[in-house]
Chain A
Amino acid sequence: AQSVTQLDSQVPVFEEAPVELRCNYSSSVSVYLFWYVQYPNQGLQLLLKYLSGSTLVKGINGFEAEFNKSQTSFHLRKPSVHISDTAEYFCAVSGFSGATNKLIFGTGTLLAVQP
């Protein structure tokens, strides 16, 4: 079984400042890892994913994340945020094994960018 923990329910940050959104996971099997963004009253948009290979993954809108197997983490970072980055961010994990490719989501982190 897999689980995802997003410790920060809300992260306030000023525009043009760097930000890190934390994600830790637990799993008894190898995993795929994802970050999704959800703007108000909209669906989820994939920011980036880790499937294999390089542990530093670059995504859309200037975001990147680093897979750290020893710390079971997949933190999301952006060096300089914009007002338009204000949204809910979800970390998710999917296990390799089994017939189902279902995603297990964290509870989300609201990134609130202030001018």
Chain B
Amino acid sequence: NAGVMQNPRHLVRRRGQEARLRCSPMKGHSHVYWYRQLPEEGLKFMVYLQKENIIDESGMPKERFSAEFPKEGPSILRIQQVVRGDSAAYFCASSPDRGGYTFGSGTRLTVV
């Protein structure tokens, strides 16, 4: 079992470009969570998805951010028209049910 796989590990984007972050949950896990860690801060919840459904997006910024978890393939966190303030580490976690998270190693986004 490969664990939660996130790619890329590092992503550099210029202001105004789009960033696409991918997360493949552990085998058998149908619940995916995205968190953002800003420098010198803890992790903040962004969105919770099950296959083809967004369950809770209360932590997502209202504009430019979107997430999906299609029936086939990884979960995608998309950030359109990135700004410097989007620079952060983005972590994905998966679970088989409502407990027992496993985190990925994260994608570190740098906006230049």
Q: Find residues 47-92 in chain B having any chain A CB closer than 8 Å to their own CB.
A: 48, 55-56, 58-59, 91
> How many A-B residue contacts, CB cutoff 8 Å?
51
Interface size of A in residues (CB-CB distance below 8 Å):
20
Contact partner of A100 (CB less than 8 A), chosen from B41, B55, B99, is B55
- Is B105 located at the chain interface by the 8 A CB criterion? yes
- State the majority secondary structure of interface residues on A: loop
Interface centre among B102, B103, B104, B106 (most CB of A within 10 A): B103
Closest CB of chain A to B48's CB: distance in Å? 5
Query: Within 8 Å CB of B45, what residues of A?
Result: 102-104
B43 partner residues in chain A, CB cutoff 8 A: 44, 90, 103, 105
Min CB distance A55 to B, Å, is 19
Interface membership of A27, Cβ < 8 A = no
Partner of A107, one of B42, B98, B108: B42
